[in-house]
Amino acid sequence: MAVRIVTDSAADLTDEESEALGVTVVPLSIRFGAEEFVDRKDLTPEAFYAKLASASVLPETAAPSPGAFEAAFTASLDAGADSVVCINISSLLSATMASAQNGARAIEGADVRVVDSRSITSGLGSQVKVAARAAAGGASADEVVRIVDDMIPRTRVYGALDTLENLKKGGRVGGAQAMLGTLLSIKPIIDISTGEVQQEAKPRTRTKALQHLVDKVVAAGAVENLSVMHGQAPDIEQFLDLLAAHHPRESIHVGDIGATIGVHGGPRVMGVTYQVPGTS
């Protein structure tokens, strides 16, 4: 391909997906005290949530170094790419975007574009997948960036949390600050569609929280790239049954929320991501 796509592990792509699409994933890292793990390499989503359950303190995430991005860009260029488009987790939630920009600046004369997805998990992942398919079909770097830029304002990300404790401890509460006073009595819904955490709703039961997610998808109409992502949620099948009443089950992508986002979303987090129809 003349254009190669790079992203980070917050996109929650599986190894099989990234390999099939020809996407290079630069991983973030997770620290449990003195122990450090590379996201999805040293620590699978399943292993992460098991370790999280027994951890006495909230683990921390760290953005990849600029050197890690520089190495990924250089490898793509050395493999024959004319251009690289790197699509990253929202700059409002992570320093990853800045690392990618610094990595790109270190390669003089190379055509490396760094794009802020303003999204996370499969919201970011769907942008990466569409970009990779466009690149594989012969799209230029300008065309790939234009496709992603069109998707960014149409991308929606909603999460039903079982607890706000992880967001609170991790300092990622943002616009959801108003919910902190009622931590014990709600199952909060957050909206990350703008690239930062905002309050969406405060249902008092898990059942109502999951129904709220379904209602958001239904109200959006003919959505694109509908995904359900979760952090080892025991009620994933029940939620998919609710959605399947409105969208064919086979059209819904289902995946695991990895450690990068799971650190903040907490155990049993359930999320939906999709693109709303364009205006044109």
- Averaged over successive runs of 10 residues, the pLDDT of the chain (280 residues) comes to 94 97 98 93 93 86 97 97 98 97 96 98 98 97 98 98 67 53 71 94 93 97 97 96 95 96 91 88
Q: What does the pLDDT read at residue 179?
A: 53
| Domain 3-153 class, CATH top level | alpha beta
How many angstroms separate the Cα of 213 from the Cα of each of 108, 110, 158, 271?
45, 43, 7, 8
> Hunting for tokens 């942008």 — which residue is that?
127
Q: What does the pLDDT read at residue 56?
A: 78
Q: What is the pLDDT of residues 117-131, one digit of tens each?
A: 999 999 999 999 999
| Domain locations in the chain as residue ranges | 3-153, 154-275
Cα 58 from Cα 55, distance rounded (Å) = 7
Q: What does the pLDDT read at residue 7?
A: 98
What is the CATH T-level fold of the domain 154-275, as seen in this structure? Hypothetical Protein Tm841; Chain: A;domain 3 (3.30.1180)
